[in-house]
Amino acid sequence: MLRFHVDGDLCIRCGECAADCPAGVIALDDLPAITNEEGCYRCLHCYMVCPTAAVSILGCDPREADETRNLPAPEQVADLIRWRRSVRRYKDENLPPELIDSLLQTACHAPTGVNAQDVLFTVVRDKARMAELGKEMMACLDKLDKAGELPGGLAGKYLNFVVRAWRDMGMDVVLRGAPHLLLTSAPKAAPCPVQDVHIALAQFELLASAHGLGTLWDGLFMMALSVCPHLVTHLGVPEDHMLGYAMLFGKPAVEYHRPAKRGPARINYVD
């Protein structure tokens, strides 16, 4: 049930809710009404766009909404993007669980195709569990290498490097001593699972960076998962999910004193 309700005393019949409905399921007949509940995307646009707080839906009452808006200045967002780094050195300490939960509760606002909202965040919240995961991963890769079963091509080249670094120097170049790991996944049957999982992770990364945390898109871990798929099961990712990507995060043990120089951007203008 959508529980769509319009307060007739507050509604000014402006039509904004109908005009902004992406599913086109709101009709104006004196008061706005939903014409097709199954077609509703549950995006809350009607609730958010109403200038007089007349629309309630899905249990969202505008009288209870926090309308505080603290948007950063454009130059602050630009600095956040330019100063963001791929961090490979982390402090050996857990982040407060409430901080991790806050980051994820905000990251879940990332856009999803047809407002599916079905991205699953799988997070390792304890550095001891990360150490166990690293040992399990390296045992699998070492076994495959000794049996000559690592893949060929570029993936095999990098995974061979991972095994050699572990054997020769005792270094885990995959998890990098990070205290936390985040994986995004979504049901394979979702409208846009590939896009959804990466958008969610990208927004998590920017928010984490705003908190002064370090992050790393971990391609080596994704390669390891491709040849050690039992790790995905051990992490609790549902079988019907498409795995998106992995991200390390935690307090950085390194400080960068200036942004990298990038560009100029490669642009194809269509005028």
Same domain, 50 and 110: no
Which are the contacts of 177, defined by CB distance < 8 A and separation ≥ 6?
Answer: 89, 90, 92
Same domain, 96 and 38: no
**Tokens 């790991």 belong to residue:** 181
pTM to 2 decimal places: 0.93
Whether 118 is in a domain gets the answer yes
Same domain, 179 and 246: yes
* pLDDT at residue 34, rounded to an integer: 96
Domain of 58 in residue numbering reads as 5-64
The CATH number of the domain holding residue 233 is: 3.40.109.10
97 cis-preceded (ω within 30 degrees of 0): no
Same domain, 125 and 226: yes
> How does residue 7 score in pLDDT terms, banded at 50, 70 and 90?
very high
Same domain, 98 and 157: yes
Q: What share of the chain is helix, strand, coil (3-state, %, to 5)?
A: 40, 15, 45
Residues above pLDDT 90, as percent of the chain: 98
* pLDDT at residue 29, rounded to an integer: 86
Residue 17 scores a pLDDT above 90: yes
122: nearest Cα among 137, 112, 111, 133: 133
Same domain, 17 and 116: no
202: nearest Cα among 89, 110, 70: 110
> How does residue 78 score in pLDDT terms, banded at 50, 70 and 90?
very high
pLDDT in tens, 237-257: 999 999 999 999 999 999 999
Same domain, 160 and 60: no
Whether 69 is in a domain gets the answer no
Residue 164 scores a pLDDT above 90: yes
Same domain, 21 and 109: no
Residue 203 scores a pLDDT above 90: yes
Whether 70 is in a domain gets the answer no
Whether 169 is in a domain gets the answer yes
Whether 146 is in a domain gets the answer yes
State how many domains the chain has. 2
Whether 46 is in a domain gets the answer yes
Same domain, 60 and 83: no
Residue 27 scores a pLDDT above 90: yes
Whether 71 is in a domain gets the answer no
What does the pLDDT average to over 44-72?
A: 95
* pLDDT at residue 6, rounded to an integer: 97
Same domain, 92 and 195: yes
Same domain, 241 and 168: yes
Whether 255 is in a domain gets the answer no
Residue 270 scores a pLDDT above 90: yes
Same domain, 53 and 146: no
Q: What is the mean pLDDT of the chain?
A: 96
Strand partners, 182: 123, 247
Residue 200 scores a pLDDT above 90: yes
Question: φ, ψ for residue 248 (rounded to 5)?
Answer: -80, 150
